[in-house]
Every structure is written in C-alpha cells, then in structure tokens.
Structure 1
C-alpha cells in the first residue's frame, strides 16, 4: 500500500516537474499566486458568512484577490532569483546565508505588503493616495503578523527547498496568510 502511494506521488511529481523549470516557472508562480490568493478570500468570506447569515459571496472581491495574486507572482519570482544570486550557494556558511536571506526578505516585506494594498485598492476603484493611506493605517497589524509567521517559514524555505519550489512553498503558506490579509483589508 505504502509503496503504491509513493509510486503515485512520484508519477505526479514527474507529471508536474516541467511546470517548475525554464520559462514555465514564472507562469506557474504567477498562476499559483493568483489562485491561492483567490482561494484565501473564498475561505475568508466563508468565515464571514458563518458570522453573518445574510452575507452574500462577493465575486468581485474574489476576482480582485486573484488578480492581485497574479500581480504579485512575477515580483516574488524575480525576488527569490535575486536573493539566491546575491548570496553564497554552498559551503560552511549555509546557516549564515539562510539568516541573511531571511533578513533580506523581512527588510522588503513592507514593500510586498504595500504592493498588495495598492493593487487591491486600485482594483476596487480607489485612488493611489487612498490605497497608500489604507496601508499606513493597517501597517502595524500587517507587519506584526508578518513577523510572527514569515521568518520561520522562510528559514524552512531557504534551508530545505530548492530554488524552483520557493514561490510555490510561499504560496502554500500564503494561503493562510492571505486569509488574514483579506480579513485586515476588508474589515470595517
């Protein structure tokens, strides 16, 4: 039984392997970012519907989250390529390299948060000024939550995963994170 499951997982990995290499990687990263951000909003709206029995599905909001995720995929893709390029690849300094990558990632986390609020705001018909102001108002809620999740997640990401799976790993972790982002973005 266990051998059969492992064989099926290996076959699945071989089937999807082309999506994680060459030119396909940026497409995979972009689509998975969009899909998982949209899925996170579906989860968040499901939670909202439990609290408010009259709450209707906001399909525009789901679409905005999907589009925002697609807009975040390419910057994340190139971000991880750049971080890998500027840090040593191997050797006795591996832990130091991983800590450097996590520190870099945390330094630029506010920029990714700002990107999220600006793209979402513009898609919702708000001005750039309004979107930036909303980010400023919600920054500490965003950033303190960011600091509780992402350093550990990125340690795992940079320490154990090959570069071509980094955005996918982040996207999977981000499923839960995006539920939170959807909550702080859409709370009154």
Structure 2
C-alpha cells in the first residue's frame, strides 16, 4: 500500500513535536533536560499528594512552598546527581553483551546499598524540610523518625524497577524512566511525611 502525497507531507502533531523537542534536548543538553524533568515530576508528585491527602491543619489548602521544595530538589539535586551516578556506574561496571543475571544484580546492589541510603538520608530527608522552612532541628528529627521506614520501602518498591532500569533501559533514558516511577514514589514520600506531621 503506497502513501498518498498528503500522508507523506503530514506535519507532526503537537505531541509529536514536543516529544521530538524533548529527545533533541536530551541529546544536546542532557543534564539540564533531566534536571527540568526531575523537578517537574517531583513538584507534580508533591502537588498530587496534597490533593490526595489534604492537610487538615490548613483546611486542605495546597502548600505551594512544599511543591516548590520538591521541585527544587528534583531540579537542583536529584536530576543532575542521578544522571552522573548512572554515567559513573556504566564506567565502573559496563554492561556486557553476555551479561548474566548475577552481573545485573551486582550493578543494582551498588545503587541500592551505596547510593540510595546516603541519597535519602543526607539529601532528600534533610534538604526538602529545609526548603520547606522547617529548619535544621526539624529536618534532623524527620530523618530520625522516617529514614528506616522510607529506606526499607524504597528498597522494596524501587529494587525491581532499578534492576530493569540499570540493566535494560538505555543510559540516556534512565533518568526519564526513573522519573516516571518517581511520580508515584514522590506521592508516597510526601504522603508519608504529611501523615507523620499530622
């Protein structure tokens, strides 16, 4: 079946243009593109968590500073840091054509044991409360109260996705794949933190 002249000349629709622009930006400016994606998704996750589990103390109003804190963390820290982590991991343990499941597990263990705990402890659980205006003592208290439950939940939820991500998703799309899963994870984290604060 041959294509008509109209089919051959068809302009891409708006969604296709956005996707092409995103893929082009991912190729030419990977760090800033991943930072923007991470910031947007983290902020959206927090916003949705506030809609799903409204804060009863303020009558269910959206706390925009919290949305900003999550977005700022995603943009300034999470997106760039994860981008560079995946690059280092590829250099340390490049994926081989004849890689076994054990090779894949070793790669994931580096993420799960070496990267996830300090990333959660030192960065997310400390910096986000600081950006929300809670202060140092409140941030340290949050770490003491939530670190182990959040870490164990992270290991349970993320390990399978990280196995897929690190071993089967092309390097340049790993942050994007993680962001897609992180939308749900951000909702969980924000909800957990809000429930403990109430």
User: Over alpha carbons, which structure has the higher Rg?
Assistant: 2
Where do 5+ consecutive residues of structure 1 fail to align? none
The equivalent residue for 1:33 is: 38
1:110 aligned residue: 117
Deviation digits for residues 122-177 of structure 1, max 9, x if unmatched?
Answer: 21233435423311211122012112111100111122210000011111100000
The answer to whether the Cα contact below 8 Å between 1:88 and 1:97 also exists between their aligned partners in 2 is no
Which residue among 120, 123, 126 is the counterpart of 2:131?
Answer: 123
Cα distance 1:10–1:122, how it changes in 2: closer, same or farther (>3 A)? Answer: closer
- 8 Å contact from structure 1 (residues 31, 73) kept in 2: yes
What is the correspondence of 1:151-170 to structure 2 with a 5 Å cutoff? 151-170=159-178
Q: Deviations over 1:66-106 (max 9, x none)?
A: 11111211111111111111003323224333211210110
Structure 1 residues 10 and 40, CA gap change in structure 2 (3 angstroms) = closer
**Does 1:98 pair with 2:108?**
no
Contact 1:26 1:73 in 2 (8 A): yes
TM-score scaled by length of structure 1 = 0.85
Q: CA deviation at 1:18?
A: 1.3
Distance 1:84 1:117, change over 3 A: same
Residues 1:69 and 2:74 are matched in the alignment: yes
SS in 1 for 2:54: helix
Once superposed, what is the RMSD of the aligned Cα atoms?
A: 2.5
> CA-to-partner distance for each residue in 1:31-75, whole Å, 9 max, x for gaps?
111100110011101112398993111111111111111121111
Query: Which 4+ residue blocks in structure 1 deviate beyond 4 angstroms?
Result: 7-13, 50-53
